[in-house]
């Protein structure tokens, strides 16, 4: 009899904690998220001028044409083929190469040469590291304001927009990003910046 009571007691405790942890707590978290942080809880989606969802503020995209602002290099791989695929959102991860790794040095040099070839007016010592090294997630959507401003001459030449107009776009999209004056740094979201650029070009 004592054994049966112990079993029933264990079942009751299991059911109570299942209801609390498996139902009530998740529903409470979802409810608070939807009420207080609706945009963030639904992926911080970014829409274009037509109202279509074109991406998330937290996941970068691969921009490579001279008429776009470029983001950070991405070391993500296609999970099906194992081949490099920039900003593969279903396979987040960095290259995990250490600072003394020869492959990392070669990667940085290659990224630098690619950037200098597209931006012949820039000097090697002007290029910020966030344009040369991939992030730990491989999905970083932001670059520093200095990285965006350095690309202004190339984008101006490709689009016909004035450098002053492009610098204004960069300033308008720059977010402070500093939390309690200790953490973070000013940054520019590349997707938002390119959408603003697209609107100036008439939606091209």
| pLDDT tens digits for range 65-122 | 999 999 999 988 888 887 888 888 888 877 788 888 898 899 999 999 999 999 988 9
Retrieve residue 139's tokens: 């999905």
The whole-angstrom separation of Cα 27 and Cα 134 is 37
Domain locations in the chain? 65-200
* 170 within 8 A of 50, measured Cβ to Cβ: no
Across the chain, mean pLDDT equals 86
**Mapping DSSP to helix (H, G, I), strand (E, B) and coil, where does residue 6 land?**
helix
Q: Quick one: pLDDT at residue 41?
A: 67
Q: Quick one: pLDDT at residue 168?
A: 96
Q: Per-residue confidence of the chain (204 residues) as pLDDT tens digits?
A: 677 777 788 888 898 888 888 887 887 888 777 776 666 667 788 888 788 888 888 998 999 899 999 999 998 888 888 788 888 888 887 778 888 889 889 999 999 999 999 998 899 999 999 999 988 888 999 999 999 999 999 999 999 999 999 999 999 999 987 666 667 789 999 999 999 999 987 755
Q: Quick one: pLDDT at residue 54?
A: 82
**How many degrees, rounded to 5, is the angle at CA 56 between CA 188 and CA 133?**
50
Alpha helices in the chain (DSSP H): 2-17, 25-36, 38-41, 102-118, 145-150, 152-159, 163-173, 190-200
């Amino acid at each position: 009899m004592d054994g049966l009571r112990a079993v029933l007691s264990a079942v009751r405790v299991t059911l109570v904690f299942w209801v609390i942890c498996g139902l009530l707590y998740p529903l409470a978290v979802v409810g608070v998220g939807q009420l207080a942080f609706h945009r963030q809880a639904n992926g911080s989606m970014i829409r274009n001028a037509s109202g279509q969802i074109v991406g998330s503020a937290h996941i970068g995209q691969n921009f490579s044409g001279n008429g776009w602002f470029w983001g950070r290099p991405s070391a993500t791989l296609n999970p099906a083929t194992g081949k490099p695929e920039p900003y593969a959102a279903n396979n987040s991860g960095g290259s995990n190469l250490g600072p003394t790794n020869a492959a990392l040095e070669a990667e940085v040099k290659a990224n630098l040469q690619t950037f200098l070839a597209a931006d012949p007016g820039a000097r090697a010592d002007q290029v910020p590291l966030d344009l040369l090294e991939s992030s730990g997630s491989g999905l970083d959507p932001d670059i520093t304001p200095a990285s965006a401003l350095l690309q202004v001459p190339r984008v101006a030449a490709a689009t016909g927009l004035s450098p002053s107009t492009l610098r204004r776009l960069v300033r308008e999209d720059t977010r402070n990003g500093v939390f309690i004056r200790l953490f973070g740094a000013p940054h520019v979201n590349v997707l938002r910046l390119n959408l603003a650029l697209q609107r100036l070009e008439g939606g091209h």
